[in-house]
């Protein structure tokens, strides 16, 4: 099994306004372009409007401190799925380690 953290950056008007994260264990190493889906009871990418997104992994990192693979995603709509933990964000400085993965992007 591989420790993987899924990290989602939420953009509005091209600016980061927040994000989401979830740590999972997977029997495989994810790859760029891969999409993740989840069953009917909790839709992984359900938006606040009830729509369903399908973003692909845009970048992979390995965090040596956390000893885990990090999959980065970017979306432009807020998620309503209970699968995710919301990340705090302050435009003056990043408030979460997860959103720091996007620095320089």
What is the pLDDT confidence band of residue 72, given thresholds at 50, 70 and 90?
A: very high
CA dihedral (37, 40, 46, 51) in degrees, to 10, reads 110
Is 105 within a domain?
A: no
Is 73 within a domain?
A: yes
Query: Residue 87 belongs to what domain range?
Result: 2-100
Number of domains into which the chain is organized: 1
Least confident of 5-14, 20-29, 52-61, 94-103: 94-103
Is 31 within a domain?
A: yes
Model confidence pLDDT, tens digit, residues 4-34: 999 999 999 988 889 999 999 999 999 999 9
Q: Using alpha carbons, select from 13, 27, 8, 5 the residue that is nearest to residue 75.
A: 8
The structure tokens 């956390």 sit at: 66
């Amino acid at each position: 099994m591989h420790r993987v953290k899924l990290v989602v950056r939420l953009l509005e008007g091209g600016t980061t306004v927040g994000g989401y994260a979830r740590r999972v264990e997977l029997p495989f190493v994810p790859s760029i372009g891969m999409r993740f889906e989840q069953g009917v009871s909790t839709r992984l990418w359900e938006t606040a409007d009830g729509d369903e997104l399908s973003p692909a992994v845009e970048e992979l990192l390995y965090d040596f401190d956390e000893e885990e693979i990090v999959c980065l995603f970017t979306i432009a709509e807020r998620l309503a799925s209970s699968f995710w933990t919301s990340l705090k964000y302050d435009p003056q400085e990043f408030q979460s380690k997860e959103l720091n993965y996007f620095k320089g992007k």
